[in-house]
Amino acid sequence: MASVLLSVNKLGKSYGGRLAVDGVSFQVRHGQTVGLIGPNGAGKSSTVSMICGLLRSDSGSVELDGVAMAQGSTGAKLKIGLVPQDLALYEDLPALENLKLFGALYGLKGALLKERCAQALDMVRLADRAADKPAAFSGGMKRRLNIAAALLHQPKLLILDEPTVGVDPQSRNAIFDTLEALKAKGMALIYTSHYMEEVERLADHIVVIDHGKVLADESPAELYRRLPAQAALRAELAQPPSPGRLADLAAGLQGLAGVSSVKADGAVLEIGLGATAQAASVLAWLDAQGCALQHFATARTNLEDIFLTLTGRSLRD
């Protein structure tokens, strides 16, 4: 197992009388991608700002590579690359000039600055648009240029806050490809998003925050085991059974090994399973009961199911 790069220890932050971050702790290892997820107002942005040293915590600490992070600690900050949710670009400066400006802020100059800019543009697939201004870019291209700016100083940890907001599918996939390439090279990532499928694709560890507290700090496999149903079978019967017959079928299914839940609605049976492989025995049982199927489909529990189980379904501002 890789060594710990980032250690977040009992961070706390209040705004007036409201406790926004309440004892948040988690770790990020070298080469690891951590998905940081939570509803609106959960405390994610404040946590990220404290990790980067942009916001002073009321309590707790952050260590990067064994060195304490604090507001003004330039050396530690240089090991972090931040891709903010709000685009940080100069619209009327060509893409290359944007990167030169950001690179100079990191202390890069001369041949090294030129080399890093070329590498970053190539990494995000914008090398052919180096002379063009972001004002003429699509939303996805701007997001990719934003990522390039955060890579110039070759950070050990890249933090991305909602990097695909307003992005077309092609740019979205290009961003994923870039992040997966960076991870393959050993860079650690923290990825915040409201799109659960993105976190499922990218993250090998997930931290769920709500009301300022950590609700889960686990691998995806460990999170999936929190729900009794690891998979689902949706079986649509060719003929709707009578209410009594439907109730008998539901009761019979509940008694089968591996079945954790059954919902019956007209001709449709939604059956929770311990594993997708158990669907075959359930279908065989239905056939033995004389149930002809119009259609069936299987699916596994996804991260959105787990997220809603942990944080609830009520609307957030």
My answer on whether 110 and 59 are in the same domain is: yes
- Is residue 134, in this structure, part of any structural domain at all? yes
User: Which domain range does residue 246 map to?
Assistant: 231-300
Number of domains in the chain: 2
Tens digit of pLDDT for each residue in 105-158? Answer: 999 999 999 999 999 999 999 999 999 999 999 999 999 999 999 999 999 999
Mean pLDDT of the chain: 90
CA distance 29 to 305: 26
CATH of the domain at 27: 3.40.50.300
My answer on whether 216 and 101 are in the same domain is: yes
Pure H helices in 138-262: 139-151, 169-184, 196-202, 220-224, 243-254
My answer on whether 211 and 245 are in the same domain is: no
Q: Is the pTM of this model over 0.75?
A: yes
- Is residue 312, in this structure, part of any structural domain at all? no
Sheet with 67-69: list strands edge to edge: 18-29, 4-15, 59-64, 67-69
**Quick one: pLDDT band at residue 73, thresholds 50, 70, 90?**
low
My answer on whether 144 and 93 are in the same domain is: yes
Residue 165: what pLDDT? Answer: 85
Tens digit of pLDDT for each residue in 264-294? Answer: 888 999 898 888 888 999 999 999 999 999 9
Residue 260: what pLDDT? Answer: 87
What DSSP assignment string belongs to 243-264?
A: HHHHHHHHHHHHTSTTEEEEEE
